[in-house]
Amino acid sequence: MRLLLAQPRGFCAGVSRAIEAAQETLKRYGRPVYLPHQVVHNEVVISSLESQGIVSVKDVSQVPDGAVCVFSAHGSPPEDYDLAKRKKLKVIDATCPLVTKVHNEAKRYNKEGYQVVLIGHQGHQEVRGTQAQAPMMLVSEHDTIPKIDRPVAVVTQTTLSKYDVAESVSRIREQF
């Protein structure tokens, strides 16, 4: 039997960009730089950033007033930006452009009268940020799709497998 080892794919461009933003922020502003929400789901990378002066916190409320922080590639809800403004934080927004596009599409479809359906994982930072953009229904890849009585627009968490998303989209199309 022949075994082929695939090369690691590495991080997506948005996460690579956010890691670079965190490192550049450290160079520009010095220690500490706060990171509400992990920039990537990789403990080795997080530990490396923390050893350089990044302080990981669970949420914006834990960042000291007036501090410097980097918002992760996963995006954040508007209330995080509002709180950062009230706390007079210097925010470096490293939201992935693809995540921003999902946010904008969700808002647009909602304004046009569609029922926005978000395929994603409850509690994930990207889902939290996307759900805060407009009213929408969250469906995980294997959930039963509820009946919807108006036109539907589907957006997805960008970090999902295209195969899992395709399965959900197929089930939604069967209904509509």
* pLDDT tens readout for residues 119-130: 999 988 899 999
Average pLDDT, the chain: 91
Mean predicted confidence (pLDDT) in 126-150: 89
**Sheet harboring 33-36: ordered strands across?**
54-57, 33-36, 68-71, 90-93
Active site residue 20: no
Measuring CA to CA, which residue among 56, 55, 54, 63 is closest to residue 85? 63
pLDDT in tens, 69-94: 999 999 999 999 999 999 999 999 99
**Sheet harboring 115-119: ordered strands across?**
137-139, 115-119, 152-156
Mean predicted confidence (pLDDT) in 162-175: 84
pLDDT in tens, 8-65: 566 788 889 999 999 999 999 999 999 998 877 788 889 999 999 999 999 999 999 9
At 80 the pLDDT is: 96
pLDDT in tens, 103-117: 999 999 999 999 999
pTM for the complete prediction? 0.86
At 107 the pLDDT is: 97
At 149 the pLDDT is: 85
The one catalytic residue in 43, 126, 167, 174 is: 126
